[in-house]
Chains A and B, each alone.
Chain A
Amino acid sequence: MSSKELMNSDEMARTLNRIVFQILENVKDAKEICLVGIRRGGAHLADRLGEIFKSEGYNNIQVGYLDITLYRDDLTTIAEYPLLQGTELDFDVRGRHIVLVDDVIYTGRTTRAAMDALIDLGRPKKISMAVLIDRGHRELPVQPDFIGKVIPTSNDEIIEVALKEQAGNNSVTIQKKI
């Protein structure tokens, strides 16, 4: 089974940098935004985006993490329960501009679940979405606002985003499903 690298560590860093600048371009006041990462991959990426914001002089960007397991629409059909990791948001989402962060957007169902989970915590002023990889095949009408890289795929391929926080190295690879 062959696996092909689509993005290495340097490219990933540059892409994340660009996403931060795109977000800055699009908001009037950076103070009003909060980053909310979708566990697990998105949580690490939200941390990294937060670091980049800091290095650009925006020190007070709040970062939170969302566990969307309880909001999934496929809980009855997945083979094994994922271990709940819990939602950690130390700030009030009401009236804020939330930027959801995830590693890959595919069917859009995770994003739907994340929006539901977020809205249960309060009424944000606005929700945007930033993803590292958009692989297409949406099953719901959702579209991210900030995209690192669009990768056309087929349904029998797997996009693997390795992050150094979890996997020890940074890369994006594509491979055929076994």
Chain B
Amino acid sequence: MSYKRKDLLGMIDLSKEEINYLLDTAQTFCEINERDVKKVPTLKGRTVINLFFEPSTRTRTSFEIAGKRLSADTVNFSASSSSTTKGETLIDTVQNMEAMSSDVFVVRHAYSGSVKFIAENTDVPVINAGDGLNEHPTQALLDLLTIRQNKGDIKGLEIAIVGDITHSRVARSDIWAMKKLGANVRLFGPPTMLPKHIAPFDCQICKTMEEAVEGADVVMMLRIQRERQGKLLLPSTREYARFFGLTNEKLNFAKKDAIVMHPGPINRGVELMTNIADCNRAVILPQVSNGVAVRMAALYLLGLSKKGGNNEDAS
């Protein structure tokens, strides 16, 4: 098995085997992040450009660290201080970056599908770091890696995803990937934040928090994506916290060894009570650590463009 695609755009495209291959590769990178000298020479002389047309701290830093630990030169680019504000088109910006002999683009953009559009218009491998409401594949991979480390196999697990499903690209990527690996996914959230057409997701839609959490192995909480909501979708934050926030009482419905996940940034007291965010069942910070390993794996598999013929395996 191998990963032969030029880009990493979304979990919906990937096969179960490709996902497992990415996860196996990522697992081996975890060890490097625990060393004294956290660096291997694999991408020496390669340039990774982080094209972030939308604000980000965690993902951008994570990709930057991942690139640096593989010895790549990472360059950050944010839209607010770029020529896009002077009227340059997206593809022109990308082609300019390509003209500087870049080896990988890591792209985040507020519009769904824009990263795919970029990937189709450049020869450089593109990693999707989040496009609008569509997908955030490296987040799904780090979620799966964290679940695998805690629960072993993904197959047959009961996973509850609670919160703003409609506006969450994390939920979308997670759902595609988890279904492919054989988990049962349940969704719960305010009706205004649940997708209108649920058939493609093939998930169980729950009516109450208790129904969603009962017997779950994994409870994943999501943030309300206010920046992506067109209009007001809930009466008040306090009401949301009361009905959709995770408290100790609600978590008691889950399995005794259930883990609590959150893609961050967390809103304490809204979707996640502080005592839960800090309890030993929460794996929110291990998720972040795994994020670096997952992104190292993605950069490693996409970042070495193959030149020349087949060299034999020298011993």
Which residue numbers of A lie inside 8 Å of B, CB to CB?
A: 67, 70-71, 74-81, 83-88, 102-107, 109-110, 116-117, 120-122, 135, 159
Distance in angstroms between the alpha carbons of A67 and B41 in the assembled complex:
13
Q: Is the CB of A76 within 8 A of B37?
A: no
Residues of B within 8 A of A102 (CB): 315
B contact residues, range:
20 to 34
Q: Is the CB of A86 within 8 A of B31?
A: yes
Convert B284-315 into 0s and 1s, putting 1 for each residue whose CB lies closer than 8 angstroms to a CB of A: 00000000000000001100111111110111
Instruction: Tell me whether A70 and B40 are in contact in the complex, defined as CB-CB below 8 angstroms, given that A78-B313, A86-B27, A121-B35 are known contacts.
Output: yes
Among A71, A85, A109, A120, point to the contact of B35 (Cβ < 8 A): A120
Q: Report the minimal beta-carbon distance from A104 to chain B, rounded to whole angstroms.
A: 4
Instruction: Enumerate 24 A-B pairs (CB-CB under 8 Å) in ascending A order.
Output: A70-B40, A70-B70, A71-B40, A76-B305, A76-B308, A77-B309, A78-B310, A78-B311, A78-B313, A83-B24, A85-B28, A87-B28, A87-B31, A88-B31, A104-B315, A105-B315, A106-B315, A107-B314, A110-B314, A120-B35, A120-B39, A120-B40, A121-B35, A121-B37
Convert B171-188 into 0s and 1s, putting 1 for each residue whose CB lies closer than 8 angstroms to a CB of A: 000000000000000000
Residues of A within 8 A of B232 (CB): none
Is B237 positioned at the interface, with any CB of A under 8 Å from its CB? no
Max chain B Cβ within 10 angstroms of own Cβ: one of A78, A87, A106: A78
Q: Is the CB of B28 within 8 A of A77?
A: no
Q: Is the CB of A81 within 8 A of B2?
A: yes
Residues of B within 8 A of A70 (CB): 40-42, 70, 300
Is B25 positioned at the interface, with any CB of A under 8 Å from its CB? yes
Is B88 positioned at the interface, with any CB of A under 8 Å from its CB? no
Distance in angstroms between the alpha carbons of A114 and B281 in the assembled complex:
39
Residues of A within 8 A of B314 (CB): 74, 106-107, 109-110
Q: Report the minimal beta-carbon distance from A3 to chain B, rounded to whole angstroms.
A: 17
Q: Is the CB of A71 within 8 A of B42?
A: yes
Residues of B within 8 A of A74 (CB): 311, 314
Convert B35-52 into 0s and 1s, putting 1 for each residue whose CB lies closer than 8 angstroms to a CB of A: 111011110000000000
Which residue numbers of B lie inside 8 Å of A, CB to CB?
A: 1-3, 21, 24-25, 27-29, 31, 35-37, 39-42, 70, 300-301, 304-311, 313-315
User: Which 5 pairs of residues, A with B, have the shortest CB-CB distance?
Assistant: A86-B28, A84-B28, A77-B311, A106-B315, A104-B315
Q: Report the minimal beta-carbon distance from A65 to chain B, rounded to whole angstroms.
A: 11
Max chain A Cβ within 10 angstroms of own Cβ: one of B27, B309, B313: B313
Q: Is the CB of A77 within 8 A of B308?
A: yes
Residues of A within 8 A of B31 (CB): 86-88
Q: Report the minimal beta-carbon distance from B12 to chain A, rounded to whole angstroms.
A: 23
Among B35, B39, B304, point to the contact of A75 (Cβ < 8 A): B304
Residues of B within 8 A of A80 (CB): 2
Nearest chain-B residue to A41 (Cβ)? B315
Distance in angstroms between the alpha carbons of A85 and B29 in the assembled complex:
10
Residues of A within 8 A of B301 (CB): 81
Q: Report the minimal beta-carbon distance from A7 to chain B, rounded to whole angstroms.
A: 16
Q: Is the CB of A71 within 8 A of B41?
A: yes
Residues of A within 8 A of B305 (CB): 76
Q: Report the minimal beta-carbon distance from B36 to chain A, rounded to whole angstroms.
A: 7
Q: Report the minimal beta-carbon distance from A96 to chain B, rounded to whole angstroms.
A: 15
Q: Is the CB of B315 within 8 A of A77?
A: no
Max chain A Cβ within 10 angstroms of own Cβ: one of B301, B304, B309, B315: B315
Q: Is the CB of B36 within 8 A of A122?
A: yes
Distance in angstroms between the alpha carbons of A76 and B45 in the assembled complex:
12
Nearest chain-B residue to A139 (Cβ)? B314
Q: Report the minimal beta-carbon distance from A32 to chain B, rounded to whole angstroms.
A: 21
Residues of B within 8 A of A84 (CB): 24-25, 28-29
Nearest chain-A residue to B25 (Cβ)? A84
Distance in angstroms between the alpha carbons of A105 and B310 in the assembled complex:
20
Instruction: Tell me whether A103 and B315 are in contact in the complex, defined as CB-CB below 8 angstroms, given that A71-B42, A76-B304, A116-B41 are known contacts.
Output: yes
Distance in angstroms between the alpha carbons of A95 and B26 in the assembled complex:
30
Nearest chain-A residue to B41 (Cβ)? A71
Q: Is the CB of B28 within 8 A of A76?
A: no
Residues of A within 8 A of B307 (CB): 76-77
Q: Is the CB of A81 within 8 A of B3?
A: yes
Distance in angstroms between the alpha carbons of A106 and B314 in the assembled complex:
7
Residues of B within 8 A of A87 (CB): 28, 31
Residues of A within 8 A of B25 (CB): 83-84
Distance in angstroms between the alpha carbons of A74 and B36 in the assembled complex:
26
Nearest chain-B residue to A104 (Cβ)? B315
Instruction: Tell me whether A83 and B1 are in contact in the complex, defined as CB-CB below 8 angstroms, given that A71-B41, A75-B304 are known contacts.
Output: yes
